[in-house]
Structure 1
Amino acid sequence: MGEMLDSIADVQEAMKELSRGNKETVRYFQEFMKYVLQPNKLDTKTKELIALGTAITARCKYCIAIHVKKCLEAGASREEILEASTVAMLMGGGP
């Protein structure tokens, strides 16, 4: 759990650093991310489980940490997170 929290803190720090020289770009990216992940035809939990699966397939440890946290915040159970993770591994994320 500590490594996951460190990863989240690293991402937050990197975004702050990036926004120092690219405020508008970071703002638009964050707005786009917020728009895409808001509930619509799919609820937030489903979208976060998809995002987690994509992060696993991309092998992005920072993205994985953030989306596990977001999945839990959206009400996903440990079992749902593990099942989504297993599907992602099947599709190219590796064990």
Structure 2
Amino acid sequence: MNKSIEDGFRKMHGQLPEVMDSFAGLHESVIRDGAVSARTKRLMLVAVSVALRCEPCIRNHVQAAAESGVSREEIIEAVGIAILMAGGPAAAYGSLFVLQILDEMGI
């Protein structure tokens, strides 16, 4: 997880421990391999993050996808799905943030 998100979640956990514990448990349950692989779920999280225009989510999910072996090309195609579903705003966020993060990671 991205350090700034980790720090924010840690601070929020101090204020809302039950909520944040539940959220963490939900995340762990959802991301596990099931009928849909964890790898595919990571790509879905990238697409949804871009469609929702959540910059911290984009950073976190692009990094997690890349670290789990998802290629730059696959991540870019996930952005294409977001653009299809969310239009111009997703194109802007995908262009600005996803490419920047992948370039920072050297992928």
- TM-score, structure 2 normalization: 0.78
Which residue pairs with 2:50 in the alignment?
56
Q: What's the CA shift for 1:74? A: 2.1
Unmatched runs of 5 consecutive residues or more in structure 2? 93-107
Q: What's the CA shift for 1:22? A: 1.2
* 1:86 and 2:80 matched: yes
Q: Distance in 1 between matches of 2:83 and 2:68?
A: 22
Which residue pairs with 2:66 in the alignment?
72
- TM-score, structure 1 normalization: 0.87
Runs of 4+ off more than 2 Å: none
Give the percent of matched residue pairs that are identical in Structure 1 and Structure 2.
Answer: 27
Superposed CA RMSD? 1.4
Q: What's the CA shift for 1:91? A: 1.1
- Tell me if the contact between 1:48 and 1:70 (Cα under 8 Å) persists in the aligned partners: yes
- Tell me if the contact between 1:11 and 1:62 (Cα under 8 Å) persists in the aligned partners: yes
Corresponding residue pairs, total: 89
Unmatched runs of 5 consecutive residues or more in structure 1? none
- Tell me if the contact between 1:44 and 1:74 (Cα under 8 Å) persists in the aligned partners: no
* 1:41 and 2:40 matched: no
Q: Deviations over 1:10-54 (max 9, x none)?
A: 211110110012111111110011001100001111000001100
